[in-house]
Amino acid sequence: MADRLTVDLVLLESISDRLRRSGTSLRATGTGGPRRVDAGEATPIFAELLARLSQSSAGLAAGLTEAGLRVADAGQTYASEDSTAGQRISGVL
């Protein structure tokens, strides 16, 4: 059947894991940067730039982690609903 839907649950879990680990790694890099910047007259500009970059990377890290959790949830939902549907079909046949 050409229109058959197949979901690889192991692949979904792998994607979920990669997203969550990437979020964790990115979050960890945000804590390792310099606290103060010495760029002479341009110090305020670079301080603001680093603050915005840090804020953006924190948002990206949170988004990656959230996406990983949602992929995992979707895989679990699919597996549960597929199993339930299979049991219903078996009961009818």
Q: Quote the domain boundaries for residue 28.
A: 9-33+44-92
Does 16 fall in a domain? yes
Q: Please give the span between the terminal C-alpha atoms of the chain, in angstroms, as a whole number.
A: 20
Does 62 fall in a domain? yes
Work out the number of other CB atoms within 10 angstroms of the CB of residue 16. 20
- Is residue 4 classed as helix, strand or coil in its secondary structure? coil
Does 51 fall in a domain? yes
pLDDT band at 93 (very low <50, low <70, confident <90, very high): low
Q: Note the pLDDT tens digit of each residue in 14-63.
A: 999 999 999 999 999 877 766 787 889 999 999 899 889 989 999 999 99
Domains in the chain: how many in total?
Answer: 1
- In the structure encoding, which two tokens stand for residue 80, read together? 């549960």
Does 4 fall in a domain? no
Does 1 fall in a domain? no
Does 52 fall in a domain? yes
pTM listed for this prediction: 0.78
Which residues, in sequence order, are CB contacts of 67 under 8 Å at separation 6+? 19
